[in-house]
Amino acid sequence: MQQAESLRIPWSILASTFLMAFAMWSPMFCVPPMEHILKEELLLTHAQTSLLFTAPILMLAAVAILGGRIADRIGVKKAAGIGAIIIAVGAILRGTATSASSLLAFSFIYGVGFGLSFPNLPKLVSAWVPREKAGVATGIFNSGMPVGAALTLALTMPVVFPITNTFQGVFFIWSIPPIVAAIMWWFLVKEPPHRSIHGEPVSRDTSPFRKILQNKSLWLVALLLLLNEFFFFTWTGWAPALMRLKGATPSLAGLITSITIWVEIPALLFMPRLSYKLGLRKPFLWVPGIVLALAAWGAMHITLPTIWLLMALVGFANVTRFITILALPVEMMSKGDVGTASGLVLSIGYIGGVTGALMGGRILDITGSLDLSLLVLIGLSIAAAGIAFRLPETGPKGVSKD
């Protein structure tokens, strides 16, 4: 009976983690569609507006390791719940910003909560399911991320902005999901069962942090996530600008960009199941690298009427690799170290998101084009495929051969 119960995630855990993922990502993705408005009203360069977009990711990189270690000690519900409150506070404060500096400061506050919460969602879910089901469960709750991001990209300019006609009003409206998520988290989420090490403080037998740092495969996973997020945030952060350069209106540009993220929803639900059915992980890491390299090359030449399919291809490939990467620390590390290991991977990986978006903005400032950014994405996608080949196979078929 105990084993049967462990195969299922309580609906409260599944719903709360889904909403938390939605609430963490939706306020951030209202920035790219408004990039031209923020640039004009706050007198910024493209590179500076990219920092407003990626400030939460910068803080995620800075705080993720701490967030994982805090959860290993006080429990995952409390650590992520504190983060949820900070996310809500930061999101609300962004709606009061009157200058670029205040908006950036409030975005950093939002990002601190991001760093406390995000690394611990896989840890919470993995504590309720067997290790072999972790990828499927991670895919289910992580579908909240593309839902939040895609809705925000698609609705910000045609629906939300006209309500107040101010960027502050947009930030206020998109602070509602974090408020609801924080309340729901504290009322509905339970700590993992006492039989799980995830719900208890770290024991003296748990591997020290130094041992985690010495895991070479974990560093490869972190590097792969860095390249993945470099691509994702360069692409989604500047795709609206790319669409406008190709002749799209601001509203249409946000809608087309959202296609990249809408297709991630079925991919999040289907691809982990396929991976676990095949018993392999590595093909779901290197194949997307090749696909994304081809897509970045195509983006330089494709026209606006046909770019929808390319956007969908990028979304499917990127999230397939992303969700596989997130499951790797759960499969590679002992349960007591999952929080810290995930924090390390996220901390390093999301540096790529900040770097990529800033690069795209700087290149656009200098050249007035995004072609050079796309060339960089081609090279890094090929490099990511090479790194994926060097990782150990953590799927059942690969492990059985060792």
Q: What distance in Å separates the CA atoms of residue 12 and residue 26, rounded to the nearest whole number?
A: 21
Give a yes or no: residue 397 inside a domain.
no
Q: What distance in Å separates the CA atoms of residue 197 and residue 201, rounded to the nearest whole number?
A: 8
Check residue 160 and report its DSSP letter. Answer: I
pLDDT at res. 3:
42
Give a yes or no: residue 174 inside a domain.
yes
Q: How many residues does the chain have?
A: 402
To the question of pTM greater than 0.85 for the whole model, the response is: no
Give a yes or no: residue 6 inside a domain.
no
pLDDT at res. 7:
46
- Judge contact between 307 and 358, C-beta under 8 A: no
Give a yes or no: residue 398 inside a domain.
no
pLDDT band at 200 (very low <50, low <70, confident <90, very high): very low
Give a yes or no: residue 5 inside a domain.
no
Residue 129 has which token pair?
A: 């399911």
Domain range enclosing 212: 11-200+207-392
Q: What distance in Å separates the CA atoms of residue 275 and residue 350, rounded to the nearest whole number?
A: 24
| CATH assignment at residue 266 | 1.20.1250.20
pLDDT tens per residue, range 251-302: 898 889 889 988 888 887 788 778 878 888 888 999 999 999 999 999 998 8
Rounded (10°) CA dihedral 143, 146, 152, 153: -160
Mean pLDDT of the chain: 84
Q: What distance in Å separates the CA atoms of residue 104 and residue 116, rounded to the nearest whole number?
A: 19
Choose among 214, 215, 223, 202: nearest CA to 347: 223
pLDDT tens per residue, range 36-72: 899 999 999 999 999 999 899 889 888 877 887 788 7
Question: What's the alpha-carbon Rg for the chain, to the nearest Å?
Answer: 20
Give a yes or no: residue 340 inside a domain.
yes
pLDDT at res. 197:
42
Give the residue with greater pLDDT, 136 vs 82: 82
Work out the angle at residue 11's Cα, subtended by the Cα atoms of residues 6 and 13, and round it to the nearest 5 degrees: 75
pLDDT tens per residue, range 361-379: 999 999 988 999 999 999 9
Give a yes or no: residue 334 inside a domain.
yes
- Classify 97 as helix, strand or coil: coil
Number of independent structural domains in the chain:
1
pLDDT tens per residue, range 127-146: 766 655 655 666 677 788 88
Give a yes or no: residue 257 inside a domain.
yes
- Classify 74 as helix, strand or coil: helix
